[in-house]
Every structure is written in structure tokens, then in C-alpha cells.
A and B are shown apart, each in its own frame.
Chain A
Amino acid sequence: MQEHDLIPHFEELKQALEGRVSDEVLLNDLRNYVFKYHTDIISAKRAVIRKYGGPNIGFVTSTDMVKKIEELTGDEQNVNITAKVTFCQNKKINSRNGEKDITSGIIGDETGQVSFTDWSGKNIQKGCTYIFKNCYCKKWNDNVQVNTGVKSSIEESPKEIENVFNVSFSSTPTETHIGEIKNDSKRVTVVGRIQSLETREIVTVNGKKIIYSGIIADSTGKIQYSAWNDFSLSIGKTYRIINAYIKSWRGIPQINMGDYTRVSEANMEIGENEVSQGNEKMIGDLIKDNGGIDVIIRGAVVGIVPKSGIIKRCSQCNRVIINDKCMMHEIAKSVPDIRTKIVVDDGTGSITAVMDRNYTEKFTGISLDSAIEFARNHGEDAVVKDIGSKLYTKRLRIRGNATMDEYGLKIKAAEISNDVIDVENEAKELLKNIERVL
């Protein structure tokens, strides 16, 4: 959690405390809990409300959770859900304590729908959005059910949920361009060309299963796919894939074709040359998206990361040798190599990439041999400095797959070239945009 993440909670507290305490004191308290004492935000908020005598919140509470319907597992004992009633009916049942009115039906939010039963006898209207507080869930026939009981409350939500997730599979999602698929896309229909195809056998509870996977592309982008059934896909052919679902792997969206997916050959072939030649992206957007397949970034070299320059590789496995020892081969013979780990920045964020020997030699004019010679007299650090002086602020265009890990965003460069910028035309286009707005 960072400073700015506190703001919404701060606003919430401010409302709850209705001016009992100054903004400054409030924010300081919140900071103190979260940053100095590292409490979670829920505890911090409760503590602050308690301290300044906000609305009575009760001392004993199991931590209540807020969940989206999709996240429900069926064993929640105390959960808050904001959802819209899409169907409901009143029933009388005979319980041990005599006749009882209950309401059952279906509630939904943007992520899914689930059946519910209210035992408290509250008047629930179809089409209204409620906050169901302190609900408990059960599982019946593998389906989650939400129950509201004596300890629960049902409040009208100030915000209506407009788009309830549609569970009926009869409706087909509209056709989406592959370049526009995001992590939060749910189900899609795409028309794409199979660029690659691999099969892999896995063992499931129901025995062995073959999974088909690879890259599918249209003119707007490329994406990884996995098919859990045999759709008789073949490389180079174009298919219409209806009702596939999106899952993300390492933060990058992937297309999955499952039982509900229908695949047919498309009327229009996408030729090899029509396939996207990489999607130009701003680095800031890649950070938001956690990476991307076959993207192009354009930026300036702003840094060189350690472990650049002359390195040694194991003659047997080609792994980088650190401290004269190969991880795998005890008696390693080392082969010298040169590489540069660069940080590229386009003004919206930064990304790291590795220039191998070829690219290092091409962009710096420093060959491995001359670097070794130079290092003999001046040391290896001097080589890195020399490389840096040739690369800093150089504008590059890098194409490849971008992924996010604990060290930030990196791109596995398939292609690095000088970024040729047509200043005149780009400036004229920008000018046109500006004049249109003014």
C-alpha cells in the first residue's frame, strides 16, 4: 500500500467521523497505523473510528470480507456482497418454529450470478441493487448459494449495478479484435490465424488429456491460446472462435477454448502478411497490463543494469558463470561473451531488455575482442562505462514479448533497431490534432 492508496479510505473515514477530528490528524493516524505499524487497512480504519467515537461498530467481529460473486467459494461465514436481484419469489415454508416467509431468487454483479435465500423476511424487489451484509454461503450440487439470516442485513445500495454478468451461454459475445483483448475481458469471439500449434499431454482426474496451444493472430495483435478440446486446428488457417474465455497468465491475457467454445473455419482467410507486425505500445500501458505479447516499444536508453559488459559462459551449457563456477558443470570451461542490459524509457515508464553480443556490437561499435583488450588495461568496469557512453539517450525500437516480474517490466527482444522518427510528419499530425481541439 502506498500513500495515495490511503486517500479513498481517508475519505471514507472522514465521512464516517463527520468532522469529529481534523483531516490532518486523521490522515496522520491512518498513516501511522498503515506505514509505521504495518496494520492492514481494515484494522486501521476500525481503530481510527473507535478512537474518535464514530458509529458503533461492535467490538467482536470476525473480519468481514467484501467479495464479488465470481470470488465466492461456498464456505464464507461472513461476507458482504453488492448485487442486483435479477429474479426473486416469496415462499412459505414449514420450519421447526412454524410457518416462515422466505425469499429466494438470483442475484448478480458484473462478475457472475448466484442463487440466494433470505431468511430474515425482508421485502426484496427484483431489479434493485442491495448490499447484502454478513451473509453466509453454502454449496449445493457444486453451486454456491448465498444466505441471509438473523445476523445479516440487506441495505439498498446507493450505486446501481448496471451490467450484470450474463450467465446464459446462448448469447454470443461480439467479435473482438485480438489487439483489444484485456485481462478483464471475460468471454470473446475472435477471428484469427493460427500462427503456431503445440500439443501437450497432461494427466487429469479423468485420465490423460491433450492440450493444444500456440499463438493466434489477426491484423491488430497476437495472443496465446489454449484449447482443451480437439478443434482440429491447423497452422496457417483462419478460424472463427466463438465464445472463448480469457484468463490471464503472469498478468498477460490468454484465450481459452473450452466446452462452450465453438470453432469454425472463417470465410475470409487472414494471409501471413496481413497478420499484425507487433502492437506499438506505451510502456506505461504495458505496466498497467502486466506486459503483452509481440509488442513494439519506442524509447530512449536511460540506464545500464549491472551484469552488463564482459561475461563468462559455460562452454557446455552456455549458462552465465558467476564466481568462476557453472551451476550445472563443476569443471567448467568458460567462454567470454559480451552483453548489455539496458533500461529504456519512453516518458510513461521504463522497461529492461538484454542486448546480446550482436546487438551490443552493432549499437556500440565495441566488439568483444576490443572490449577484452580494453578491459586488460582499464578493467571491466571501464568497458561498461564505454558501452554506456555510446548508448545513453539513444533512441531504440524494440519488438518482443513483455512480461512483468518482481524487478519490473522486461522485454525479451526479438528485434532491436534504431528508432527512426519522422519528426516533420509526426509534428504535423500533432499540430492538426491541437488545431482541431482549439
Chain B
Amino acid sequence: MNRETAYRIFSNELNISTRVEKGDEEMSPSYVVSPLGTMINRVMIAGVLTEVYKEGSDEEPWWRGKVLDVCGNFYINTGRFQPEASNVMSGLETPSYITVIGKVKTYTTNDDRTFVSIYPEHIIKTEEQDYIIWILEALRFLWTRLLRMNSVLKLPNITVDSIVSEGYTSQEAYEIMQAIDEYGHPESGMYLRIIQDAMRRILPNENIDLGLSGSIEETYNKEEVGKASTIYDFDKEDMVLAYLDELDVDIRGVSISELIRRGEKDGITAEEIEEITNNLMNKSMIYEPNLGYLKKI
């Protein structure tokens, strides 16, 4: 009876996971299989807590939050069953650096899309350096998984046996097979961009170029659009209103292009922003003080 390992994994790899493995018995743990072949029940993640939403009633509140790492957001949920974490969450200010240890849960919609969220066991407010150390750790594991996947995909005949004969355990072989079965060949370009991005974050004074063209955001958005935006079914209107609070620093208001850029980080497309802002204007919740600038009323 081994305790579940707390995997260090970047948000991108976690969020695009769709394969769920459940034991037959009632209390048996469930896992998500990541695209690079790791079965995950528990994670340790770190990043910037950017948004906290209080949900439920005053008597029975619960919180959701977004934690940003180098390539996207982790979505965390605390409630009745995470009293300790809820307590911490209610007292946290945004933005702040946090580290979270928690269980991974998935939710699959009727149209077969899977969303991954984290139910924290422990939330700790930390310093930036703790986040940097975590990035290094997650980076190392990502690289190891990528190399492992690469070596397996070179095999002429990919079976549990052939993977084991490469020196991996049968458990690892099984996990890799699950991943290949679900996701096919991983897009190594995407992972290399995460690596480049993460390296730039922890070695800001180095000129790091792994020879990848294109900007990082472009690649992530392709993967995350449509996905991230529907996670938890966040009310997009509320999100846009929150952006206006966040970005409104002078009397002019927030430029629409800035708003679109902000929305893209959460996977909201420019078209959606336009539609939402139009709606909000119709409802007289926002107005356009200057051409191309928006403000909350």
C-alpha cells in the first residue's frame, strides 16, 4: 500500500489529459493518464494564484481558483471536504505565489470533453523562489518523460514486453501503452516550447533558444482553446468583468486589444470577448468612455 506520488507536472500536460483510469472497487483511486505516460492521482503544483471565486452559500461556501504556471492555468477547487485548504484559500490575496498538494479529479461533459481540476489537500503561500524551484523540478520530470516516450516510440514493435526490455518497469510500460493508445504520438514541439519557456523563466539572464520558431502563446492556445474556457463552466461574463477590474489602472479604461490578450490567456477567443462585451454594454454593466476602451459602470 504505497501512498500516491505527488507528481510535478506543468498545467498544459495535465489539462490536455483525457484518459481516466478507475479501479473496479468503490474506494479504489482514480488516475488520469498524462499524454507522456504517467498515471496521476496526486500532484504538487506551484504558481501564481491569479483568481479566486467564492461559490456556494455563505453557510457552505467553496472556492475555486486559478494558478498560473509557465504555460497555462491549474484549476483548483476547495470545499466542504477540504476544510484546511478552504480556510487558507479564503484568506489568500491575488496575486500570490502558492504551492498546492492535492488530488486530481476529472469531469467529462456530455460531448465527451474532459476537464481536469485539483482538489487541494494542502495550500501553502510561498515565496517566488519556491515557485522557481518547482519549475526546475517539473522541467526535469517533463524532460525525462519526453525522453522516455521518444525512446519507446523508436521501438519497431511497441508492446509492454518490448518496453520492459528497454529497462522500464511493467508499471511504466503499462502507463506508456495507455498514453500511446489514447493520444498517439505526442507533439514534442509543444513540450519543447514549454521547456524553453520554463528555462527562460528560471534563467532570465541566459539567452535561451532551443531553435523553436513561433511564439509560445500561439502553440498553447491551439491546444487549450475551447477547453480551458469551459472548465468549470466559468461564467465568461464574470471573467470579463474581472479582467476589467484587474486591468483598469487609469481613467481611460481598458483597451479592447488588451482585454482580448487577457482573454486569450484563459482560452477565451477574440470573437467571444466581442460578443460578451456587446452583451455587457446592452445590460448597461460596462460602457465605452473612449473609442476602443471599456470601463465598468
Contacts and interface: CB of A to CB of B under 8 A. Distances in A.
Nearest to A299: B6
Interface in B124-146: 124, 126, 129-130, 132-133, 136-137, 139-141, 143
A275 B214 CA distance: 51
A3 B178 CA distance: 13
A424 B203 contact: yes
A427 B199 contact: yes
B159 interface: yes
Interface centre among A31, A284, A388, A426 (most CB of B within 10 A): A426
Contacts, number: 104
A423 B202 contact: yes
Interface string A360-389: 000000000000000000000000010011
Given A7-B160, A408-B1, A434 B195 contact: yes
Interface stretch (B62-70, B204-212, B244-252): B204-212
Nearest to A419: B133
B84 interface: yes
A300 B44 contact: yes
A426 B136 contact: yes
Nearest to B99: A393
Contact of B141 (A347, A349, A428): A347
Highest count of chain B CB atoms <10 Å: which of A7, A11, A407: A7
A302 B6 CA distance: 8
B5 A350 contact: yes
Contacts of A31: 24
Contacts of B129: 423
A423 B121 CA distance: 27
Nearest to A406: B1
A438 B101 contact: no
Given A347-B5, A430-B143, A393 B101 contact: yes
A8 B203 contact: no
B211 A438 contact: yes
B160 A348 contact: no
B102 to A, nearest CB: 10
Contact of B174 (A7, A343, A393, A438): A7
A84 interface: no
A437 interface: yes
A345 interface: yes
Interface residues of B, number: 46
Nearest to A8: B160
Given A35-B24, A438-B192, A347 B147 contact: no
Interface in A310-349: 343, 345, 347-349
Nearest to B39: A4
A393 B44 contact: yes
Contacts of B23: 3
Contact of A423 (B2, B132, B143, B195): B132
Interface in A284-301: 284, 287-288, 300
A421 B136 contact: yes
Given A347-B141, A435-B210, A427 B1 contact: no
A427 B44 contact: no
B126 to A, nearest CB: 7
A5 interface: yes
A424 B40 CA distance: 29
Interface residues of A, number: 43
A8 B136 CA distance: 36
A303 B133 contact: no
A349 B122 contact: no
- The listed residue with most B CB atoms (<10 A of its CB), out of A31, A427, A431, is A427
Nearest to B147: A437
B281 to A, nearest CB: 44
Q: Which of B5, B126, B210 has the most chain A CB within a 10 Å cutoff?
A: B5
Interface string A88-129: 000000000000000000000000000000000000000000
Contact of A388 (B24, B122, B126): B122
A427 B24 contact: no
B174 A421 contact: no
Contact of A347 (B6, B132, B169, B170): B6
Contacts of B143: 430, 433-434
Contacts of B24: 31, 35
Contact of B3 (A350, A392, A434): A350
A3 B6 CA distance: 21
Given A7-B174, A393-B124, A421-B136, A431 B208 contact: yes
Contact of B206 (A287, A423, A428): A428
A431 B203 contact: yes
Interface string A154-197: 00000000000000000000000000000000000000000000
A423 B160 contact: no
B174 A392 contact: no
Contacts of A8: 160-161, 170
B8 interface: yes
A428 B205 CA distance: 11
A423 B170 contact: no
A399 interface: no
Contact of A288 (B99, B122, B169): B169
Contact of B140 (A395, A409, A430): A430
Nearest to A392: B122
Contacts of A5: 170
Contact of A431 (B5, B6, B160, B199): B199
Contacts of B2: 287, 349-350, 408-409
Interface in A402-438: 406-409, 421, 423-424, 426-428, 430-431, 433-435, 437-438
Given A392-B122, A393-B124, A423-B133, 11 more contacts: A7-B160, A7-B177, A302-B6, A302-B101, A347-B141, A408-B2, A421-B133, A424-B203, A434-B143, A434-B199, A438-B211
Q: Which 6 A-B pairs have the closest CB atoms?
A: A4-B174, A393-B99, A392-B122, A345-B6, A347-B8, A393-B124
Interface of A: 3-5, 7-8, 11, 31, 35, 284, 287-288, 300, 302-303, 343, 345, 347-350, 385, 388-389, 392-393, 395, 406-409, 421, 423-424, 426-428, 430-431, 433-435, 437-438
20 contacts: A3-B23, A7-B160, A8-B170, A11-B159, A11-B161, A303-B3, A343-B3, A392-B122, A393-B99, A393-B101, A393-B124, A393-B126, A408-B1, A423-B129, A423-B133, A424-B203, A427-B199, A428-B206, A431-B203, A438-B210
